[in-house]
């Protein structure tokens, strides 16, 4: 297994964990607003986990070769679109989302956006930390003439 592939798998599981954590919070809000007092089917929890897993697969979606900043943003947009389609479609299929109810749809889309931003923010912080360590190593490399 190449280093690159290992990193992608690690990122996938990390995304899954962060997305699941975020989903628990936004689900609690969603249930409180639209399904308060309803008896929840335990399948809902499994559906949540399944959806987080399927959405985390977006880590492997790169329709555009990332040769420029615009293409990176296009890939991010494509991933966001994929997540929306998966969640809204599944919500409709599993009957916890009525797509004709505009308010319900709007809240769900807002929650998707919140989790997406949260996952992206955490991943960005980790990436930033990585770059700090990389710079320390670069300085060491340049100081020692490549003997790191």
Residues that bind other proteins (CB under 8 A): 2-4, 6-7, 11, 66-67, 69, 72-73, 75-76, 124, 127-128, 130-131, 133-135, 137-138, 140-142, 145-148
Nearest approach, Cβ of residue 82 and other proteins (Å)? 15
Q: Among residues 42 and 146, whose Cβ is nearest to other proteins?
A: 146
137 vs 140: CA distance, rounded Å: 5
By C-alpha distance, which of 52, 77, 48 is closest to 62?
Answer: 77
Question: Whole-number minimum distance, CB 106 to other proteins, in Å?
Answer: 27
Separation of alpha carbons 24 and 9, rounded Å: 23
**Separation CA 55–CA 40 (nearest Å):** 23
Minimum distance from residue 134 beta carbon to other proteins (Å): 5
Q: Closer to other proteins by CB, 101 or 148: give it.
A: 148
What residues have CB less than 8 Å from 80, skipping those under 6 apart?
Answer: 116
């Amino acid at each position: 297994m190449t280093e690159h592939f290992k990193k992608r798998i690690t990122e996938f599981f990390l995304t899954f964990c962060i997305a699941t954590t975020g989903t628990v919070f936004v689900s609690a809000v969603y249930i409180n607003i639209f399904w308060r007092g309803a008896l929840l089917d335990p399948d809902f929890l499994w559906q949540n986990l399944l959806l987080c897993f399927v959405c985390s697969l977006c880590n492997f979606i790169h329709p555009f070769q990332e040769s420029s900043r615009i293409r990176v943003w296009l890939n991010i947009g494509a991933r966001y679109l994929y997540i929306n389609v998966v969640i809204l479609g599944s919500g409709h299929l599993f009957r916890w989302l009525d797509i004709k109810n505009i308010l319900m749809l709007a809240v769900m889309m807002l929650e998707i956006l919140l989790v997406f931003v949260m996952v992206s923010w955490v991943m960005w912080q980790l990436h930033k930390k990585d770059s700090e360590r990389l710079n320390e190593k670069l300085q060491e490399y340049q100081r020692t003439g490549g003997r790191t």
